[in-house]
A = this chain, B = another copy of it.
Amino acid sequence: MTGPTNDRIAAMKADGFDLEDCPVRTILDHLAAKWTTLIVFELAEGSRRFNALGRSLPDISKRMLTQSLRELERDGLVRREVFDTKPPSVEYSLTEMGRSFLAPLETMTDWAVQSQADILRARAAFDGAATAS
């Protein structure tokens, strides 16, 4: 759907806005990356080791846990500390920025929880109308 952009988008692009590399977009993407939310909430209760996190998040594969943690670490939301014990242990915890993310995240989830019933009702109505056709 390429074509003439409207004034607002044009102005944003002139401001250096890049749709493909917009931090807001990537944050939102990471946020919904299926596991980040749960990881952040878990780490909000204290630092956790790799396998401890895995046990708290049933059904996540080691691979996805690693990947999600790397992403969060790269964005500066999570701190990774390696301890040279044997066997070695790694502790993950929220950084200052990570904790500052809790407020907006809770605002979102609170809305979702409060709207849950309405959403399920809307879905049922929508699906019912489709089936009834």
- Chain A residues with CB under 8 Å of chain B are 1-6, 8-9, 19, 23-25, 27-29, 31-34, 37, 54-62, 65, 73-76, 97, 100-101, 103-105, 107-113, 115-116, 118-123, 125-127
Prevailing SS type, chain A contact patch:
helix
Which B residues are in CB contact (< 8 Å) with A119? 23, 27, 75-76, 97
Are B75 and A1 touching (Cβ within 8 A)? no
A23-B120, A31-B32, A74-B126 known; A1-B108 Cβ under 8 A? no
Q: Are A1 and B115 touching (Cβ within 8 A)?
A: no
Min distance, Cβ A124 to any Cβ of chain B, angstroms = 10
Smallest Cβ-Cβ distance to A52: which chain B residue: B6
